[in-house]
Amino acid sequence: MPTSADLLLDTSAALALLVEDNTAHIAVQSACTGAILGLAGHASAETYSVLTRLPGPNRLTPLAAANAIRAAFPRSISLSEEDARTAVDVLADAGIAGGAVYDGLVALCARAAGVTLVTCDRRAIGTYAALGVDVRVI
């Protein structure tokens, strides 16, 4: 499913970009400057969930979180119906199981779009690699 995004972000990179006191904020901001951004798959819902439950002054209202996501990531994508139907088989063939399945779904979106996936989640790198996704680790 092609997209006009230059880069897709997973939840870890999206949060780093949106939360100014995140330790990776400046690095992600620098990596994304000038690019048209999108979120891959359910990273949009995950980002919204985290933004609305952050502690203290970083917590956003539901409306503010939705607006921030929409403004920062105008080219977010989801799996096509066919890719969603075959995702479990693709993940199984790659040996991906447990919690890594959610990283796998994000990776499948980026792979289908043919767009580099930006992440701050070193734990997910193996899953992204197993699915042949071009990844930029911040």
Task: Detail the residues annotated as belonging to a binding site for Mg(2+).
Answer: 10, 103
Q: Measure Cα distances from 85 to 9, 79, 90, 105, 131 in Å.
A: 23, 9, 10, 12, 16
Half-sphere exposure (Cβ direction) of 28: Cα atoms closer than 13 Å? 27
Task: Detail the residues annotated as belonging to a binding site.
Answer: 10, 103
Task: Name the β-bridge partners of 135.
Answer: 117
Q: Measure Cα distances from 135 to 7, 41, 103 in Å.
A: 10, 15, 12
Contact 120, 16 (CB under 8 A): yes
